[in-house]
Structure 1
Amino acid sequence: MHSFQQQQLAFINRIKDPSAPLPAGMRPERMAVYEELFFNNVQNFVSSAFPVLLSIVSAAHWQALCRQFFREQRLHSPYFLHISQAFLHWLPQVEEQLPLFALELAEYEWLELALATDIAMAASGWQFSPNSALALSPLARLCCYQYPVQQISVQFQPTAPAAQPVFLLLYRDHADQVRFLELNAWSAALLQLMLAEPGQQISTYLEWLQPYVPQWDSDQLLAEVTPLLTDFALRGIVTAAAEN
């Protein structure tokens, strides 16, 4: 390896780990400026992406986690969303150091950020009708958690999973605000069907949904689903399926 490459590698290793050997010819005080600058940028990106998780972890512990992440994770993009996503994917390696709900909370927070910065545009001005071919908006995410992540805060930190799965729909509205809706099991199943097989008419989705609600006949199921989909259409959650 050429001396320049060796010097460059030593510089990178020292940036990621201040306990690594100092690059040849580099003064400690000058190196410290680079170390602090790079680490602070990464830590700020991570902290801004996970504000609730940050609030329930001690400052010293959070800094140690960020330092460990910065040292261990190879980052391939300077974009803040990619850095926070890399942190999300790295977190399972330190799961035992965090509250039981931390991984689900982190995913929920990152999805909020991803939706807020997504450049996709939701369809506007579209009105739902029973004969429409339907699809879920690209600015919506369906989630299922063991913990009520939408309620977690400094004041509320669950110590055990919820009695029932927590179904959440995150979406970006027409005003570009990220919001969430808590769903029941059958409405979550309906949206999951739309995700799996977009472009079907409501009658097809109702046929597939029927086994999930055997207590309802077809007329009652239609009566329950129609106002729900109408509301979802107004919110921009459900849109007209793209034509092939």
Structure 2
Amino acid sequence: MAETLRAQQLCMTGHIRDPQANPPPPGIEARRLAVYRQLFFGNVQALLAGSFPVLHASLGAGQWLALMEDFYARHRCQTPLFTEVAGELVDYLQQRADLPGWVAELAHYEWIETVLLLGDDAQPEHDPEGDLLEGVPVLSNLALPLAYAWPVSQIGPGHLPQEAPVEPTLLLACRGSDHDVQFSRLAPLAHALLMSLQQHARSGREHCAALAAVVGVEPASLQGQALQLLNQLKAQNVVLGTIPVGIESA
């Protein structure tokens, strides 16, 4: 009995998920199955259209619907949480090599806003008065450096690029105390410094030396500029301060 029920459930869910590839379960009226399909698929499609308004508008109704139907039929989500379905679509689009490159990047760009809006307010321990050059600078949990091959901040229904520009789009996404997420353009040095802060627990001086090695210049020639950047980032609450001495040596 249990196996029969399970087989019926799998048959029904398979049909609802992908009616073109899976026959309907016997004995259920097509009209009723269509109602179930609309309830399940319609809710997911509407949720994602709201999470990715620019992508939705840029693709147009037909291409968006085809994309949603394929995602719904083929992608196996790893989370039951509605708040994380947008991240599942980002993962799915990164596997779709047949789509224009800007599609996956635009989705990621729009998704980052959701990530920051839902992010934990708790910040790592830090000394707000610490020396940013001698200490280890602490990056806010609510600030993310981003790099895209496509000009994601300019893409929309009236501007769909055919080729990626030579220069990447470097951005900083940051959530303020008012829970408003802002995106700002970054110069290459600022982006490189933020990526270094995100990936390595080093003193400001060591970050400067590592960047200088990449650029191929003497650390002393970058130190003043790097310190100025660190102070600007601290004024914007992107850098919080430095790791407290006790924690740094633990």
Using the size of structure 2 for normalisation, the TM-score is 0.85
Question: Residue 79 of structure 2: SS of its match in structure 1?
Answer: coil
Question: Residue 101 of structure 1: SS of its match in structure 2?
Answer: helix
Separation in 1, partners of 2:213, 2:129: 28
Separation in 1, partners of 2:155, 2:127: 35
Does the C-alpha gap of structure 1 residues 100 and 155 become closer, same or farther in structure 2, counting only changes over 3 Å?
Answer: same
Q: What count of residue pairs does the alignment treat as equivalent? A: 241
Q: One-letter code of the match for 2:103?
A: A
What is aligned with 2:145? 142
What is aligned with 1:68? 70
Separation in 1, partners of 2:163, 2:63: 22
Separation in 2, partners of 1:196, 1:48: 32
What is aligned with 2:243? 241
Point out the more displaced range, 46-55 or 78-87.
Answer: 78-87
Shift of 1:173: 1.7
Shift of 1:203: 1.7
Q: One-letter code of the match for 1:156?
A: H
Does the C-alpha gap of structure 1 residues 16 and 114 become closer, same or farther in structure 2, counting only changes over 3 Å?
Answer: same
What is aligned with 2:36? 34
**Percent same amino acid among aligned pairs?**
29
Separation in 1, partners of 2:77, 2:223: 49
Does the C-alpha gap of structure 1 residues 52 and 95 become closer, same or farther in structure 2, counting only changes over 3 Å?
Answer: farther
Please provide the CA RMSD for this pair. 2.4
Using the size of structure 1 for normalisation, the TM-score is 0.87
1:173 to 165, 176, 181: 176
Q: How does 1:95-244 map to 2 (within 5 A)?
A: 95-96=97-98, 98-122=99-123, 126-127=128-129, 129-130=131-132, 131-198=134-201, 200-214=202-216, 218=220, 220-239=221-240, 240-241=242-243, 243=247, 244=250
- Structure 1 residue runs of 5 or longer lacking an equivalent are none
Point out the more displaced range, 126-135 or 111-120.
Answer: 126-135
Question: Residue 161 of structure 2: SS of its match in structure 1?
Answer: coil
Point out the more displaced range, 124-133 or 72-81.
Answer: 124-133
What is aligned with 1:87? 89
- Structure 2 residue runs of 5 or longer lacking an equivalent are none
Question: Residue 101 of structure 2: SS of its match in structure 1?
Answer: coil
Q: Deviations over 1:124-170 (max 9, x none)?
A: 99356434421222222222211111121223222222222222221
> 8 Å contact 2:12–2:25 — kept in the other structure?
yes
Question: Residue 145 of structure 2: SS of its match in structure 1?
Answer: strand
Shift of 1:93: 4.2
Question: Residue 181 of structure 1: SS of its match in structure 2?
Answer: strand
Separation in 2, partners of 1:216, 1:56: 46
Question: Residue 164 of structure 1: SS of its match in structure 2?
Answer: coil
